[in-house]
Amino acid sequence: MLDILRRPLVTEKSTSLQEDGRYVFEVSTSATKHQIKGAVEAAFDVKVVKVNTMNVKGKPKRYGPKVVSKKSWKKAIVTLASGDNITIFEGV
């Protein structure tokens, strides 16, 4: 179940979302909202209130004359219950 979460995303926007108790993760492309909720609750021992997901399309990149596309991936924004937080994001 823990292979659903790939990595946390630490950007300027995701850092500002943490003030509202929302955390952003890159997740498996086949993961559902229920699976993501269970994985976050099991990994960090917190209560998840809501999960929003979105598919991010890979951007085209040029390597000399070739145009290739980066991989598409899935992003999840997880809203935690008030009072809960994930400590791996603190101090980043």
Query: Would you write out the chain's pLDDT as a tens digit for each of its 92 residues?
Result: 668 999 999 999 999 999 999 999 999 999 999 999 999 999 999 999 999 999 999 999 999 999 999 999 999 999 999 999 988 766 65
Residues in the chain, overall count: 92
pLDDT recorded at residue 72: 97
Residue 73's pLDDT is 97
91 secondary structure, DSSP code? T
The helix/strand/coil state of 29 is coil
The count of structural domains within the chain is 1
**DSSP bridge partners of 63:** 66
**What residues make up the domain containing 45?**
2-89
pTM for this entry: 0.88
- What is the C-alpha separation between 5 and 70, in angstroms, rounded? 20
Residue 25's domain is classified under what CATH number? 3.30.70.330
1-10 pLDDT, tens digit each: 668 999 999 9
What is the helix (H) or strand (E) element at residue 17, kind and residue range?
A: helix 12-17
Q: How far apart are CA 23 and CA 50, in angstroms?
A: 11
Q: Please provide the average confidence, as pLDDT, over all residues in the chain.
A: 93
